[in-house]
Structure 1
Amino acid sequence: MQEKKKIGALLLSVSVAMAALAGCAGGDKNTGASGSPSPSSSVKPAESAKPEEPVKLTIKPQNDKQQDPNSAVTKEIEKLFNVKIEYVYLDRSKDAELLNLRISSGEIPDVMMLSPALFSSYSQQGILAEIPMDLIEKHAPTWLKQVKQNGGENILEFYKVNGKLYGLPMITSDAYNYVPIWRDDWLKNVGIDKIPASLKEAEEAFYKFVNEDPDKNGKKDTYALSNFGIKAVYGAFGLQPSIWMERDGGVKYSSLLPEMKDALTLLNKWYKDGLIDPEFITGENKGQYWANTVSMWNGKIGFSVPGTYYHVNPKLNPDDPSDLGSGNWQNFKKLQGESATYAPGMPLVGPTGLSGIEKWGVTSGSAVGLGKDVAKDPKKMIKWLEMIEKLNTDEEYYRLAQFGIKGEMWDINPVTSLPTMKEEFKDKKGIIAAGPSGTAFQMSNFDMVRKNTMSPQLLEFAKKYAMVTDKYEQVVWAALPSDGKYKANLDKKIGETTIQFITGQKKLDEWDKYVEEMNTKYGLNELTQEANDWYTKYKKK
């Protein structure tokens, strides 16, 4: 459901738009939201009562595709809540720029999905409305409870300015670690009968992948790994690159830790020995979807860590004709043939016993905010909160918001009992245009999400391979005050220098000089201070 890397991506919401664009979950009853009886309610107004005018809501979602305001899904949601929805479509590649222009002209959407940087900026500029806690407790109590359960008791503190709440967190059930995959047919061809568990065992297999003709074509034309697989090596040394990690009672930037030098020393050796595909610099996805391991599809490498469970799972239910496996599995089989196989593995255990791999967090710091004018119209805020509450408590409504009209857009798969989109609505952008959305706002009810989106077999696969480590996720997920000044150039320089260390263009005895340069010339000292200030205030227990 999430497509991104991992920013990623695949964060669970609290927004009205969730109703029109919800992201993932499930349940099957027809209980009305607080203050919003369902259409089947037996309560009827007095004959002389004048019908209440619909409440107008302008919603800016994650704009992967323009929403159809006249879609059957939108009309159902409008009728259910007595609202009139107007979607704000902005080119996603210029989302921040276009939203800023809209706001500067006085057109502030009522409901906005905001990045951490935009939320931080808008909440301090007076662009967002305060959201009173008593309204949340009255109109969205279940949502509030779920958010605190899944995101932490103090999660709302980040969204406050001077003690006032200006946004609600987007949390995601996609808090899974990445899953390594191995060409297990190659392992067998070089005499290895089990999936390597340690870095030492992996290294043995890697040399065999390069030197012992694992594909049996009589040529020396294979490599062990490319850029995705390098993540597993970092994990075996206790880190992942370019994230803030807990160290010595505070946080430090992982790419400059001493353990990174140890990892790069080994990777430099492997590169010299021909284990790493020289094209790792441009990426094994070859410009396609970020989690596609095209190099493995093409039979060039035998190990990769392209994404989480749903990026790599094979066919899991032979009784379900709709179970084709992940995109990677399907493309791999198409190009390598039915006899070719890969198998999932675990994060590699390193020389000091450390183990872990990239992992998505429950939140990235993104928020749903309400435009400041909403404060003048409490009905808008109440409607928004009612929609959040219903989305997380009423499975029938969730399915409407997530999948669309039953029988027209989706039906229950008789084998898995899961909602399954009809052929014409399997394209994600097609779903969005038709009303619901699986890429924008998401949910706080993780059980409902998994019940409606994961077969028992897929859930078991995820538990076995993608819920095996708490390491390593981003600890500081907020935009820091000096990010705009330093972060892009810092990460660009780190990325370039990392490649130079691996390929040998830069010698590792220059490491200390490099760290000093990042700290002083590229602003890491200042960022580290800000990151620790944030960590102390919001995360440290």
Structure 2
Amino acid sequence: MNRKKSAIQFTVITATALSLLLAGCSSETAKPSPAATGTSTGAASSAVPEVKYPTSFKYWVPMNGNAAAVMKNYNEMAAYKEIEKKTGTKVEFQHPPTGQEKDQFNIMLASNSLPDVIEYNFASGMGQSTAQSPDSLIKGKQILRLNELIEKNAPHLTKVLKDHPEFRKMITTDEGNIYVMPFLLGDEQLSVVNGPIFRQDWLDKLGLKVPTTIPEWETVLTAFRDKDPNGNGKKDEIPFYMNLSGDFDTNNLLVGAWGITTDFYNDKGKVKYGPIQPEYKEFLATLARWYKAGLIDKDYASITDAKLKDAKITNSQVGAYSGYAGSGLGRYLSLVQPTTPSFSLVGAPYPKLKEGAAASLGQYTMPFTGYGAAVSTQAKNPDQIIKWLDYKYSQEGALLMNFGIEGESYKMENGYPKYTDLIMNNPDKLPITQAMAKYFQASWSGPFVQDKRYIEQYYTIPAQRDAQKAWTAADHTKQMPGISLTADESTKTASIMNDVKTYRDEMFNKFVMNGEPIENFDKYVQTMKGMGIEEAIKARQAGLDRFNTRK
């Protein structure tokens, strides 16, 4: 995949290579697929002492929304039913209530009442959700260092890391600890999945091109406001449906045109915090002008209900928004086109500041983001649990997690696992992601290597594939890698960042929608500095410097 100025260099595992990789670490119970014929596990597997799978263990994991729509517990997923047959292990899945995952995670750590396995995003250094760093959780004897356990009991993951040392660098902390059985993106194609989306039929009706710059966005949004593109004779269009965290924190939409992000970013080896940069002031001033002009949904700050967004988009009120190529583009086309064939969507490139300017920053997900399955110190049989988790990195386990049950959710065609109509055209009319969730976990995350052949089939509509190409053209050189903070850095900056982010969001809304004079931006920056943002930047700089020297 071609990419402009991409600084995120990691070895791309093609579909064929991934098949061979997984075949090379196939489990003792795995059946060879056509793609795996002639491969062997090598000496590493024979050196592993005989370890049985665990009889049972407790597994805490937040439940994905698509899974929650079709099941009460991951035990109902076909892949896990099959893993239980293969291993004989009964897993007691524990799912925190939706919306309470972070609170429940922190309560669990504070009480030190831990299950055997905790699947979560542990990467505090990347602005994620844990107050303590993985190293501090290991030092505090809450989760285990997994290096030796993996070496002795996880031949399949060991081979993945041996063949792809860039993965090992990402999953290892600065203190040399591996703390989770990781979720890994097996191909760069899986890293760019989100971006700006426009109503193509509205653009066509008004004689407009897909906008590529901030001024062109303003022209298009103004036309959406004034020229009745939905044709109902009412001025009820919402030119831009804005989502504070999703648009700006997740994918750098609009703010990336100024060459910054709404969080920490890497400017040629120097860590900066976007919301205190001069360019952020210009970004806020632009949004404030758009909001006052009625180009942005006036209720953006209070809307958190995904169903309301669905209603506004499917009822032909929204002209532009951001979303995933799957749930944000393909799903809406599938929902609306059967009754309104003219409804069409297009993925727009991340807009540049002006014609001829540098490429905007865009959404990009690192191959490892800190998500995976940790083993708690209260587990009585960690070696057996690691062996069970390692099964997902084997050929057979990887097929289960990415494609489900052969003959049911997929069929092998010339070595390619092709989804059946049970997934792609579900007889119960389930959306593809929900049909997938009944069988396997590829459409979100977990301790396995995500296979790009999943997304090749998930993007069934040309507009989805075209959108991904458009979004890929963004600049990703300022992406922060997966740094980790020391226990001291994490402790000192966790409360700082909680306060800073709360204040950032509060002031964002004041500047954009409540008439806070943009002239007060310097005062806002000074308040941030008073909260300790410079200390947090210093900690991330130290983390980046350490990451760059990892081997």
TM-score (norm 2): 0.72
- SS of the residue 1:213 aligns to: coil
Task: Say if 1:374 and 1:333 are closer, same or farther in 2 by CA, change over 3 A.
Answer: same
Structure 1 residue aligned with 2:257: 236
Aligned match of 1:154: 169
Within 1, Cα distance between the matches of 2:22 and 2:270?
A: 47
- Aligned AA (1:141): T
Q: CA deviation at 1:175?
A: 1.6
- Counterpart selection for 1:288 from 288, 291, 306: 306
Decide whether aligned partners of structure 1 residues 483 and 452 sit closer, same or farther in structure 2, where only a CA change above 3 A counts.
Answer: farther
Residue 280 of structure 2: which of 236, 257, 260 is its match? Answer: 260
Q: Is the 8 A contact 1:57 1:85 kept in 2?
A: yes
C-alpha distance in 2 between matches for 1:518 and 1:406? 55
Deviation digits for residues 296-334 of structure 1, max 9, x if unmatched?
3333332222x2221344xxxxxxxxxxxx222234547
Residue 512 of structure 2, aligned match among 499, 502, 512 = 502
Q: CA 1:362 to 1:289, structure 2 compared with 1: closer, same or farther past 3 Å?
A: farther
User: Which residue of structure 2 aligns with residue 180 of structure 1?
Assistant: 196
Mapping of residues 99-110 of structure 1, within 5 Å: 108-110=114-116
Query: 2:37 — aligned with what?
Result: none
Distance across 2 between alignment mates of 1:401 and 1:540: 34
Q: 1:91 to 1:498 in 2, by over 3 A?
A: closer
Q: Is the 8 A contact 1:60 1:112 kept in 2?
A: yes
Aligned pair partner of 1:530 in 492, 516, 539 = 539
Could you tell me how far 1:96 is from its partner in structure 2? 5.5
Given the superposition, is the C-alpha separation of residues 141 and 198 from structure 1 closer, same or farther in structure 2, using an over 3 Å criterion? Answer: same
CA distance in 1 between partners of 2:53 and 2:475 (Å): 46
The match for 1:417 is 418
Number of the residue aligned with 1:165: 178
Q: Per-residue displacement from partner, 1:375-403 (whole Å, max 9, x unpaired)? A: 86634434433x1331xx33xx4343455
Cα displacement string for residues 94-126 of structure 1 (whole angstroms, at most 9, x for unaligned residues): 446656666788764333213312662522211
Work out which of the residue numbers 465, 471, 492 in structure 1 matches 2:502: 492
Alignment match, 2:368? 363
Kindly provide the amino acid, as one letter, of the partner of residue 499 in structure 1.
N
Name 1:67's counterpart in structure 2. 73
How far did 1:350 drift?
0.9
Q: Is the 8 A contact 2:200 2:344 kept in 1?
A: yes
**Deviation of the 1:429 alpha carbon:** 7.3
- Opposite residue 127 of structure 1, the aligned amino acid is Q
Residue in 2 that maps onto 1:400: 400
| Contact 1:119 1:366 (C-alpha < 8 Å) held by counterparts | no
Match of 1:328 among 325, 332, 348: 332
Q: 1:75 to 1:223 in 2, by over 3 A?
A: closer
2-structure distance, mates of 1:60, 1:191: 55
Question: Structure 2 residue aligned with 1:277, among 297, 311, 331?
Answer: 297
Q: Tell me the equivalent position of 1:349.
A: 352
For 1:165, what is the secondary structure of its paired residue?
coil
Q: How does 1:200-215 map to 2 (within 5 A)?
A: 200-215=215-230
Residue 255 (structure 1) shift: 1.7
SS at match of 1:114: strand
The more displaced of 459-468 and 414-423 is 414-423
Q: Structure 1 445/258 Cα, relative in aligned 2: closer, same or farther at 3 Å?
A: same
Q: Which residue of 2 aligns with 1:251?
A: 271
* Distance apart, 1:370 and its partner CA: 1.8
Q: What is the SS of the residue equivalent to 1:525?
A: helix
TM superposition shift of 1:141: 3.1
Indicate yes or no: 2:112 matched with 1:112. Answer: no
Distance 1:204 1:89, change over 3 A: closer
Give 2:351's aligned amino acid: L
Partner of 1:85: 91
Query: Kindly tell me: are residues 205 and 29 of structure 1, through their superposed partners in 2, closer, same or farther at Cα, counting changes over 3 Å?
Result: closer
In the alignment, the residues of structure 1 paired with residue 108 and residue 491 of structure 2 have an alpha-carbon distance, to the nearest angstrom, of 24
Tell me what 2:14 maps to: none
Q: Is the Cα contact below 8 Å between 2:143 and 2:374 reproduced in 1?
A: yes
- Are 1:142 and 2:159 an aligned pair? yes
Counterpart secondary structure, 1:369:
strand
Instruction: For CA contacts below 8 A with separation 6 or more, give which structure has more relative contact order.
Output: 1
Structure with the bigger percentage of helix: 2
**Cα deviation 1:194-214 (Å, max 9, x = unaligned):** 212222222222222223333
Kindly state the Cα deviation for residue 244 of structure 1 after the two structures are TM-superposed: 0.9
**What does residue 3 of structure 1 align with?**
none
CA 1:92–1:363 in 2, change beyond 3 Å: closer, same or farther? farther
**1:43 paired residue number:** none
Instruction: Spell out, residue by residue over 1:172-191, the C-alpha distance to the aligned partner (whole angstroms, 9 max, x if none).
Output: 46421522222233223333
1:77 Cα deviation (Å)?
2.1
Q: How far apart in 2 are the matches of 1:236 and 1:97?
A: 34
Paired with 2:369 and 2:111, the residues of 1 have a C-alpha distance of 29
Give the partner amino acid of 1:55. P
CA contact (8 A) 1:178 1:309 kept: yes
Give, in angstroms, the shift of residue 245 of structure 1.
0.8
Q: Secondary structure of the residue that 1:372 maps to in structure 2?
A: coil
Given that 1:412 and 1:418 are in contact with CA atoms closer than 8 Å, whether structure 2 keeps it comes out as yes
Which residue of the partner structure matches residue 126 of structure 2? none
Identical pairs, percent: 18
Partners of 2:483 and 2:540 within 8 A in 1 = no
The number of residue pairs the alignment matches comes to 478
- Structure 1 residue runs of 5 or longer lacking an equivalent are 1-24, 41-50, 314-325
Query: Mean Cα displacement is larger for which, 488-497 or 61-70?
Result: 61-70
User: What is the alpha-carbon distance in structure 2 between the residues aligned to residue 280 and residue 72 of structure 1?
Assistant: 39
When residues 209 and 523 of structure 1 are mapped into structure 2, their CA distance, relative to the original with a 3 A threshold, is: same
Residue 381 (str. 1) matches residue 386 (str. 2): yes
Distance 1:232 1:238, change over 3 A: same
SS state at 1:196 partner: coil
Give 1:512 shift: 0.8
Bigger drift between 88-97 and 484-493 goes to 88-97
CA 1:227–1:477: 2 relative to 1, 3 Å: farther
Q: Which amino acid aligns with 2:398?
A: Y
Q: 1:450 to 1:297 in 2, by over 3 A?
A: closer
Map 1:212-227 → 2, pairs under 5 A: 212-227=227-242
Contact 2:398–2:449, Cα closer than 8 Å, also in 1 = no
Please list every run of 5 or more consecutive structure 2 residues that lacks an aligned counterpart in the other structure. 1-16, 33-49, 123-129
Displacement of 1:496 in angstroms is 1.9
Q: State the AA in 2 paired with 1:287.
A: D
**Structure 2 counterpart SS, 1:179:** strand
Paired position in structure 1 for 2:13: none
Q: 1:375 to 1:221 in 2, by over 3 A?
A: closer
Q: Is the 8 A contact 2:256 2:361 kept in 1?
A: yes
Paired residue for 1:16? Answer: none
Quote the Cα distance in structure 2 between the aligned partners of 1:338 and 1:271: 31
- Label 1:196 to 1:496 Cα distance change in 2 as closer, same or farther (>3 A): same
Residue 465 of structure 1 and its aligned partner are, at CA, apart by 3.0
Q: Structure 1 residues 53 and 503 mapped into 2: Cα distance closer, same or farther (>3 Å)? A: closer
Deviates more, 1:273-282 or 1:84-93: 84-93
CA contact (8 A) 1:63 1:440 kept: no
2:362 partner SS: coil
Conserved in 2, the CA contact under 8 Å of 1:67 and 1:434?
A: no
Matching residue's letter, 2:275: S
User: 1:518 and 1:350 mapped to 2: Cα distance?
Assistant: 26
